[in-house]
Amino acid sequence: MGRFLVTYHAAGMPQDPESVAAARMAFVEWAGKAGRALADPGAPVRSALVMPGDGLQDGWVSPAFLGWSVIEAADRNEAVHVVEDHPFLSLGCTLQISEPIDGQTRIHTA
């Protein structure tokens, strides 16, 4: 089994309380369906600092990175199958599925 980082990107999401609650409920239902393949549900992202080579600025890279999850799957096709009915797709989000390079491990610092 491999791990895949799924990141959520969108130009904008509904902000009214009812839409936010509906999106959260849809995510919870999807997470239940994904079951053990959802290794880490991740979290939404509240704000961002952009670091171009010449300094910091508040804001978002477009389309904005809104959150992440980690999927465990045998391969990329299986990872796609797990997220193909993700409710954020129907809200206009784009999901990016990233796979670590084979044999690479996390970098540890002292």
Inter-residue contact 10 to 64 (CB < 8 Å): yes
Domains of the chain by range and CATH? 2-98 (3.30.70.1060)
pLDDT of residue 95: 92
Write down the H helix ranges in 6-105: 17-34, 76-83
User: pTM of this prediction?
Assistant: 0.78
Using CA atoms of 52, 55, 59, 61 in order, give the dihedral in degrees to the nearest 10. Answer: 0
pLDDT for 16-74, tens place per residue? 899 889 989 999 999 999 999 999 999 888 777 777 777 656 665 667 788 899 999 99
Say if CB 66 and CB 8 are below 8 A apart. Answer: yes
